[in-house]
Amino acid sequence: MFKRGVAVLLILLLLGTSGCKRSSPSVPTKKSNVDTPSDQLLAYFPKSTETVWEYDGMAEYGCRMTLMSQRSQEEPPRTIYRLEGEVADMSDGESTANFHFELKYHFTQDSVYEEILESGSPFPHRIPYLKMLTLPLKKGNRWEQEVTVNGQSQSLTAEIITIGSEKVFEKDIQTLTVRYRVPMANMPGGIYEEVRVFAKGYGILRFENTFGPNKTDRFNYFLRAMHQSSEDNVQ
């Protein structure tokens, strides 16, 4: 059961609504022998449909997310995950906000994108079509993505800032950390920053982003539990 509390006002204020619009990624136009979704990228995410993630975070934030389906697409070649979830209602039912969210992960031959199909105001992700990871998976790898912020085209930059391993539910798991930055009003120095830590086989392990003009205005959440089918249960 999700945590309930009195912090709903804080969460709604700090997360707000997204200032970015989706921009379509570049995809291969011709099919070839190498135009298949990257196994390196797929390895950083669960393989079992009905995998359930449970997250806790700042100001009693909580959410639960389920991998609903997986499918392969031939043209352009990619694997697509569909996920649904719900942010914990901390108002004891008094809020009229939409707490449901729906995502797709698009795995291409060299990148994985997160597409936000639906989200209410408490959902903290701010970029509707984000290139989460791209090859090569090594420290210092940088990439750019064009997004629209407040009606203007802006360049989002991302970089893999660390690669290592850490204990995840008592197991030594390979991790990598990506930092994303894009110009955005009302953020420290006019720059919105987001950091995601990915754990191999788990997807997003931790998330942090800026939500206001002060350097201390940072929101975060972390993976509290994960449940998979019995044949590949990880926790």
pTM for this entry: 0.84
CA distance 106 to 124: 20
The candidate with the shortest Cα–Cα distance to 66, out of 175, 204, 226, 231, is 226
pLDDT in tens, 60-99: 999 999 999 999 999 999 999 999 999 998 887 788 888 9
Lowest-confidence region among 11-15, 34-38, 196-200, 223-227: 11-15
Give me the residue spans of the domains in the chain.
Answer: 8-21+33-230
CATH topology classification for 8-21+33-230: YmcC-like fold (2.40.360)
Percent of the chain clearing pLDDT 90 (strictly above): 71
Q: With 0-12 CB in 10 A as exposed, 13-18 as middle and 19+ as buried, what is 161?
A: middle
pLDDT in tens, 131-177: 999 999 999 999 999 998 777 899 999 999 999 999 999 999 999 99
What integer pLDDT is reported at residue 25 of this predicted model? 52
- Give the confidence band of 34 by pLDDT, cuts at 50, 70, 90: low
